[in-house]
Amino acid sequence: MMFIASSLVLAAILNLPTYVYSATVSATVAQTFLGVGGSGAWWPHDLFNFPESVRQNLSELLFSESGLAISSYRYNLGGGGVGVSNPVRAPETPYVSPGVYNFSADPEGTFFLQQASDFGVPGITMFVNSAPAPLTSNGFSCNGQFVNANGPAYATYLVDVAQHWREAGINISFVSAMNEPDNSFGPLPCGQEGMLVEANQRATLITSLWNELESRGLTSEIGILADESSSTSLATSEYSEWLPEVVDMVAHIVHHAYDFPTDAEYEAFINSANAVSGGKTTWMSEICCSLGSPDGSGKGYSGGFDPTIDNALIFVIGGEAHYDFWTLVSLGSDANEFTLVVSNSTTYSVIAMNPNTTESTISLTFPQDVCASTAFRTSATEDFSTVTPATGSGLTWSLPLSETSLTTYIFKREAC
């Protein structure tokens, strides 16, 4: 008996063109994902003050199987915020003095840490922007530097805190002792916590942390992440100064991407990191998905967020095992489940979904005169295809939406 795909039969009856593509599934694994998630800095400071029902709703949206069900959560262990002018970015620290802790500190951050654990998030990282002020070079939580002589004391503090939460049932499985160590985030008063760790100091810090974990038999339970450099270009230039000495102590090489590399630059970074580390797994733990060109160029911090299929392909460019978004929660917007508008200084980008099987049109009014420039659509038969821009003039525009499609309309923030 022969079976014919119903879609082909329907296409033949309706005299529609058919799209048949051949593909081969390789037996070799191309990429393994260990986690996709985000950071708990610094939105818990505000969200903790909402009613319990709101906090629980947010936790379900982030952590539950009926929500995003993220598989990674980065808990920000505060440094106390000494010298930081923005209280939102100055989480409390449990550190009181060597071996003395107040684990009721930072109830905002620890609440959502507990929620992530309760919902079963499998990968929890504890990351730090600054050591407690008494352990830094200047006695502040920013504008200072890691002190080599304080490495053992800092490592003891980190492992004490991680072990406390593990004994409380929260499985912290990774510790990152420095975050963007190329920046102290000065001058005082600072906008956030930060601690400079020079490239030639990083092996010392990692060795101190490894020795403390080893002394407690925890090296197989808690992995060390390093070094969370601000950019791929900076990371590449500094790896040779510290990584070969401690490569066997590092579980994964973790980086940020504030240089917004093109696809080619991103691949070059991965190849360089693999060469220096002997193939150690790399993770991207901060910044993702800005608007830009298909080749990855033209992106920037203020370029707007692009949560489309096109930008999600960044996941496969470098083949990295782990991706974390910088922040999981932002200020509210008037977006709904079908439409999102993002903007920067020069453009508006309207991302609209039509889940229905019939065409529709959105009538959109802008707060200023704009000019339609281009549009892209993904549907059952299109893959980010260029389509006709929106029609209209001045403030008012019409945006046609094909059936079962996702369309991005781009507008210049100026009159035509």
Give the DSSP H/E element, type plus range, for residue 400: strand 396-401
Q: With 60 as the cut, is the pLDDT of residue 136 above it?
A: yes
> What are the beta bridge partners of residue 354?
405
220-236 confidence digits (pLDDT tens): 999 999 999 999 999 99
Question: Is-above-0.85 flag for pTM?
Answer: no
Q: What's the mean pLDDT when you consider all of the chain?
A: 91
- pLDDT band for 89, please (50, 70, 90 cuts): very high
Q: With 80 as the cut, is the pLDDT of residue 209 above it?
A: yes
- pLDDT band for 218, please (50, 70, 90 cuts): very high
Q: How many angstroms separate the Cα of 161 from the Cα of each of 112, 137, 167, 246, 333? A: 16, 22, 10, 23, 36
pLDDT of residue 336: 66
* Chain centre to alpha carbon of residue 368: 32
CA distance 238 to 250: 16
**Helical segments of 95-225, H only:** 107-118, 151-167, 202-215
pLDDT of residue 264: 93
Q: With 60 as the cut, is the pLDDT of residue 11 above it?
A: no
Domains and CATH numbers, the chain: 35-325 (3.20.20.80), 339-412 (2.60.40.1180)
